Amino acid sequence: MTLSNLQTIEISVSDKKLDNLKILHLSDLHINKKTTIEKLKELIKLCNNQTFDFAVITGDIIDTKVKFLKEKLQILNTLNGKVYYISGNHDLFYGLEP
């Protein structure tokens, strides 16, 4: 996980109701046994210092069995505002049930 990829991308949309909509997008976190709690807290702090309407986490959140990551995954719950996610192939491989 690298924190140096923070980017702002502006897009033009025809529906004016979407003007100024800000989405925070996280992808391919691949949280595993080697991922430190400090790095995750640093990521969430960086994200929470941004202004956004909602956040999306798109796939490959985990990269090992959930039983090894419970404390680390709970840190994601400190992300401000509404958060939506979708699982990726790694998440499905290790299982979402636990």
- The third-level CATH classification (topology) of the domain covering 21-94 is Purple Acid Phosphatase; chain A, domain 2 (3.60.21)
Q: Please name the amino acid found at residue 43.
A: L
Six-digit token pair at 86? 């979708």
Strand partners, 58: 27, 86
Distance CA 98, CA 52 (A): 30
Q: Output the pLDDT for position 46.
A: 95
> CB–CB of 54/84 below 8 Å?
yes
Residues of the chain with pLDDT under 70: 1-5, 88-98
Q: Output the pLDDT for position 90.
A: 62
Single pTM value for the model: 0.79
Neighbours of 37 (CB within 10 A): 11
Kindly report the backbone phi and psi dihedral angles of residue 55, in degrees, each rounded to the nearest multiple of 5, phi listed first. -115, 150
- Provide the percentage of residues in the chain whose pLDDT is more than 90: 50
Domain boundaries, given as residue ranges, for the chain:
21-94
